[in-house]
Chains A and B, each alone.
Chain A
């Protein structure tokens, strides 16, 4: 497989064509808007939390435009973090960022197991200019989760 074929795995092309979680939903706890100023890719992402013992990502909804890598990455991410605790979702983000720093080498098996379909983006790490594309949605998720937890803390303080 050429580097470019590794970059554009079928899974990525499929998600880009038929993205998961796309379309903004109401009732969210926080929203983040991120752009990649070099190419104009953008994503607006909402997190919807479920009240449980540990706060959990009930769903992620988003709207965006951009290249196949950025769109597929948000799509795969929203599948991956649905049902995860906020803490787990944040950790997945860290693991995905590590994958992007791996220069295409990948991570250890345990880490790749956690990332599931998101390991399809391993080939992106060989193209420094595209790493930002793959991270756009994850940046929005991180920002939205930070906002959501700040809002929760504030509510608790007000109580």
Chain B
């Protein structure tokens, strides 16, 4: 384990201090997979962390240790293993809550970010049917109400709201984007109105890398009394995130994108909101008293954690959160800011390549989505793959945004804390070979 701050759990290192060469080497040594080769012995250049991140030893060890030493059902049973399992599970919740600046009781385990958004949407649906009684009425939607998203969202933050609107009679509206993918904040007062009940938006786009001005959106939502739901999938792994300071009502993120395991994610909900919200999945573990006629529900977060949970994965996600905190999110962000500049330069250096997203490195993640003139994204990805460079191709679960930016599909290179300048250089080299490989000249003219 790499300890860059002086002690475990210490406050993150502050300032713009980035990772030194030896610290970066130590980080990479924590990720065994990064050392493998692909496609006939080429070193792997993993630039697909926005899809899913690689995992450090400490995450794998935490999961294994749980199964080897502590495995038992949590929150039930009086034996020692059950106690230890419950403690590991709740300690993991604490680690994740701490990383994003919230209280333990405000953090609900979910399968992933998609599930977290759906918990909010289905709780609102249930409230619209009268479930949860008078206290849940604030979540009820009907005809005349509006839900607002943005055109830059991942499908995970569009489709659940479309469905909620279809079930309740509410109307879906959206904030548009500029040609560089940044939100049209000038639309804000037109689109977010007294009729808006929910404003759901991402903290950072998985396609354009643009980081949202959360304060501006939250301020407008507060003015009109709308609930805010933040998709924090792409921010939590890459920058300091304090959800209390951001003042959002709900937030969703996934373990597997923040160096943790698959199968686990989290929903943050402001305490009084979670307390007032009706359950979604129902059954064991989320109840107080069950009779044959009726049931009373456990307080949050358990109310939203029906059935046996993904305990080992939660423990792994806790270890990932701790790992990130020990590196220091400021240091992670500073390192990735360098990668942002290098990635932008790489794309700008190759003729015939169009960037989807802002060309400036301000408020921007270390990822670049791009289109190569005359070459389909799938073919771009194949040539990069031949050089050992792993990128994502397709629409990255953001079809409306691609449509808006005039691209059927794109290729995307995305960095994480373990990405090096040499890797970005290898990406740039491989990218320069794409058009020539397909018989197009380097200049982008044909």
Instruction: Given A13-B439, A40-B394, check contact A68 B383 (CB 8 Å).
Output: no
Would B386 and A4 count as touching, CB distance under 8 A? yes
**Chain B, Cβ-Cβ closest to A71:** B376
Interface string of B71-104 (1 = CB under 8 A from A): 0000000000000000000000000000000000
CA distance A66 to B375 in the complex (A): 9
B388-443 contacts to A, CB under 8 A, are 393-395, 399, 402, 408-409, 437-439
Q: Does A149 contact B (CB under 8 A)?
A: no
- Which chain B residues lie closer than 8 Å to A38 at the CB level? 394
Question: Which of A2, A3, A4, A66 touches B378 (beta carbons < 8 Å)?
Answer: A66
- Of B382, B383, B408, most buried by chain A (CB within 10 Å of CB) is B382
Would B386 and A2 count as touching, CB distance under 8 A? yes
Would A40 and B438 count as touching, CB distance under 8 A? no
Would B382 and A133 count as touching, CB distance under 8 A? no
Instruction: Given A67-B378, A68-B438, A127-B382, check contact A40 B408 (CB 8 Å).
Output: yes
Q: Does A152 contact B (CB under 8 A)?
A: no
A58-80 contacts to B, CB under 8 A, are 65-69
- Which chain A residues lie closer than 8 Å to B399 at the CB level? 40
Instruction: Given A2-B386, A38-B394, check contact A69 B408 (CB 8 Å).
Output: no
How many A-B pairs have beta carbons closer than 8 Å: the answer is: 49
CA distance A68 to B380 in the complex (A): 10
Interface string of A16-51 (1 = CB under 8 A from B): 010000000000000000000011110000000000
Instruction: Given A2-B386, A130-B382, check contact A39 B393 (CB 8 Å).
Output: yes
- Which chain A residues lie closer than 8 Å to B337 at the CB level? none
Q: Does B244 contact A (CB under 8 A)?
A: no
Question: Which of B379, B393, B408 touches A68 (beta carbons < 8 Å)?
Answer: B379
- Which chain B residues lie closer than 8 Å to A4 at the CB level? 382-383, 386
**Chain A, Cβ-Cβ closest to B383:** A4
- Which chain A residues lie closer than 8 Å to B402 at the CB level? 40
CA distance A66 to B383 in the complex (A): 16
Would A39 and B395 count as touching, CB distance under 8 A? yes
B345-400 contacts to A, CB under 8 A, are 375-379, 382-383, 386, 393-395, 399
CA distance A130 to B382 in the complex (A): 9
CA distance A3 to B378 in the complex (A): 16
Q: Does A99 contact B (CB under 8 A)?
A: no
Would A39 and B438 count as touching, CB distance under 8 A? no
Q: Does B184 contact A (CB under 8 A)?
A: no
- Which chain B residues lie closer than 8 Å to A40 at the CB level? 394-395, 399, 402, 408-409
Question: Which of B40, B375, B378, B437 touches A39 (beta carbons < 8 Å)?
Answer: B378
Question: Which of A13, A17, A68 touches B376 (beta carbons < 8 Å)?
Answer: A68
CA distance A144 to B427 in the complex (A): 42
CA distance A127 to B402 in the complex (A): 26
Task: Please report A residues at the B interface, Cβ cutoff 8 Å.
Answer: 2-4, 7-8, 13, 17, 38-41, 65-69, 127, 130, 133
Question: Given A4-B386, A8-B379, A40-B394, 6 more contacts at CB 8 Å?
Answer: A8-B382, A39-B377, A39-B378, A40-B402, A67-B377, A130-B382
